[in-house]
Amino acid sequence: MNTRHFCIGIVDDDDSVRMSISRLLRAAGWHVEAFASMNEVIHDERAERIDCLVTDMRMPDGDGLELQEWMLQDKPHVPVIFLSAYADVATSVQAMKRGAADFLLKPVDDGALLDSIRQAICRQAIDVMKEREHEQIKARHASLTMREQEVMQHVIEGRLNKQIAADLGISLKTVKVHRARALEKMGVHSVAKLVHACMKAGITET
């Protein structure tokens, strides 16, 4: 996956660290937005461009966990990577439990930081694609008529056409018509693919 068009946000109150990391990331081909504090991220419109955030754990106006909490509320799609000069196990565990992409110790190895950012961006991009796919499947399912949804559910459960006809009190021909239309609207050509699509989107527990 080509990640060069992504924008990385850097948060560190140490000017030299912030500039050093910014140069490293720009040299790697990324766009960079640098911030000196947590409040600057929260109130600066440049934060809207960020696809991944690399932040120091300790800042004058708060800590990384507070910033992570804000990110989870305002920009949940943006992965957060922590940098810290202290090997605080409890804090790192808390950050990871909240969904942090990584927790690296300062002075951070350039290669480790670049790899961490690439992996975080790729994972997030995959998650976004999956979410979009699931929404598309749900939209297709919503386009089915109530009867088509009923027939489809019976099909997913492994019922034969004649069994579905008996269960719903409709003719075998009508079942076949609804079944064909349901498959067409769901964008699949087999029952196996129908079941797989519905399970991925959480439409059925079967």
Name the percent of the chain lying above pLDDT 90.
68
pLDDT given for residue 206 in this prediction:
43
Residue 82 contacts residue 104 (beta carbons within 8 Å): yes
> CA 164 to CA 158: how far, in whole Å?
10
Tell me: pLDDT of 155 over 80.
Answer: yes
Mean pLDDT score across all residues of the chain: 90
pLDDT exceeds 70 at position 2: no
Residues 71-81: what's their mean pLDDT? 92
Range 26-52 average pLDDT? 93
Q: Is the previous residue joined to 76 through a cis bond, with omega within 30 degrees of 0?
A: no
pLDDT at 205: 47
State the sign of the Cα–Cα–Cα–Cα dihedral 35, 76, 64, 108.
Answer: negative
Q: Return the sign of the alpha-carbon dihedral for residues 19, 25, 30, 36.
A: negative
Torsional sign, CA 55, 57, 60, 63:
positive
Nearest Cα residue to 64 out of 51, 53, 49, 48: 53
Q: What pTM does this model have? A: 0.72
Q: In which band, very low, low, confident or very high, does the pLDDT at 131 lie, cut at 50, 70 and 90?
A: confident
193's tokens: 């693919």
**36: confidence class by pLDDT, cuts 50, 70, 90:** very high
Average pLDDT over residues 91-109: 89
pLDDT of residue 1: 57
Confidence bin at 89 (pLDDT 50/70/90)? confident
pLDDT band at 62 (very low <50, low <70, confident <90, very high): confident
Which residues pair with residue 84 across a beta bridge? 105
Q: For residue 97, give both structure tokens.
A: 């439990």
